[in-house]
Amino acid sequence: MFSPPAISVSSTIDSAIILQKAAELAKKLGLEIIPTPAERSSELLLAYTPEGLKLLQAPFASDRFVTLLFVDFVHGKNGFRRAKDSSTKQAIARAAGIKPGYRPAVFDCTAGLGGDAFVLASLGCRVTMCERSPIVFALLADGLDRALQDQATAEIVRHRMQLVVGDATYFLAQNSEGYATIYLDPMYPHRRSSALNSQAMRSLRTLVGDDQDCGTVLETALKKAHNRVVVKRPRLAPTLTETVPSHVIGMKNSRFDIYLTFNS
C-alpha cells in the first residue's frame, strides 16, 4: 500500500510577501507551514526559492537541500528541446497524429511535470493537461506562470496549454468537449523499469505512487477520443489492458501504443 511522504511548505526567500504566499499554498494543500526551512519537521519541503517552487529534500546531517522536482519550461531539457527539436517527425508528434497543416486538440490525462504536453504545445497543438496530485499540480502551475513571463515560451503557454486539477477518468466522463487525441503516460511499472526512469520520474513516484487505475483511464479515453488514444509504455512492457493497439511506434527505451477510435 502506497503511503505518501510527509511534506511541509516553506520559502528559502527572506520576504514577507513570499512567506504569505507559502502560507496560502500550505493552507490550500492542507500541509504544515515552516517559516524557515532549517526548522523543518519533515524530510520533504515544497518551497518557494529564487528560481521558483521546488520540491526539496533535506539530506541527513546537512542543511543543503537537494531539488527533487522543479518545473522549468524555459531552460534545461524543455528549453533545449523547444529550441533544437521542432520536427513534426519526432515519435511523439507522429503518435499524437500531427500532420502537415493539422494539429489535433490533445487531452493529456497524466500531466506530471508537463514535459510531453509542452512538446506537443510547442509543435502547435492545444493541450489540456490533467493532474490529480495537488502537489504536482502546484509545481506545474508555478512552472507555467514563469513560462508566461518569458518571451520564448509565453505564446505557447498562454494560447496552447491549459491545466486542470483532478482525476482524468472523472474529467473525461463529465466533459462533453471533444479531443482528437487523448494522451496517457502513466508511471512505468515499478520493478523492471526503474533504470529507465529519470531521477525526476523516480521522485514523482515517491510523491504519487503507481498509477494503478491506468487501465480504467484508457477504457474511458477510448470512448471519448475523436481520433486516437496514445499510451506511452516501456519498450517491452505489456499493453495496459487486453485491448490491442492499432499500431505501435517504437523508440529506444519506450514505445507509443496508438489506439484509433473515430468516436463522433
Ligand X SMILES: C[S@@+](CC[C@H](N)C(=O)[O-])C[C@H]1O[C@@H](n2cnc3c(N)ncnc32)[C@H](O)[C@@H]1O
Interface with ligand X (CB under 6 A):
109-110, 112-116, 130-133, 136, 167-169, 185-187, 201, 204, 208, 211, 213, 217
Answer for the pair 104, 97: CB distance below 8 angstroms, yes or no.
yes
For ligand X, the nearest residue by Cβ is 112
To ligand X, the closest distance from the beta carbon of 81 in angstroms equals 11
CB of 28 to ligand X, least distance (A): 17
Shortest distance (Å) from residue 86 CB to ligand X: 17
Residue number with CB closer to ligand X (47 or 69): 69
Q: CA 196 to CA 187: how far, in whole Å?
A: 11
CB of 45 or CB of 117, closer to ligand X: 117
3-class SS at 255?
A: strand
| Cell numbers that stand for 157 in this block | 503557454
Q: What's the min distance (Å) between Cβ of 16 and ligand X?
A: 32
CB of 15 to ligand X, least distance (A): 29
Q: How far is the CB of 242 from ligand X (least distance, A)?
A: 19
Partnered with residue 7 across adjacent β-strands are: 44
Closest CB to ligand X among residues 9, 130: 130
**Rounded Cα gap, residues 99 and 91, in angstroms:** 12
Residue type, 255: R
Q: Tell me which DSSP letter residue 72 carries.
A: -
**Which residue number, 93 or 201, has a Cβ lying nearer to ligand X?**
201
Considering Cα of 69, then 17, then 141, then 2, what sign does the dihedral take?
Answer: positive
Identity of the residue, 35 or 76, whose beta carbon is nearer to ligand X in the bound complex: 76
Q: How many CB atoms lie within 10 A of CB 92?
A: 19
Minimal distance in Å, beta carbon 209 to ligand X?
8
Neighbours of 190 (CB within 10 A): 11
Rounded Cα distance between 34 and 17, Å, is 15
Tell me whether residue 69 or residue 180 sits nearer to ligand X (CB atom): 69
Q: Which residues contact 153 (CB under 8 A, 6 or more apart)?
A: 73, 74, 79, 82, 147
Nearer to ligand X, 114 or 245 (CB): 114
Instruction: Tell me if 257 sits within 8 A of 236, measured CB to CB.
Output: no
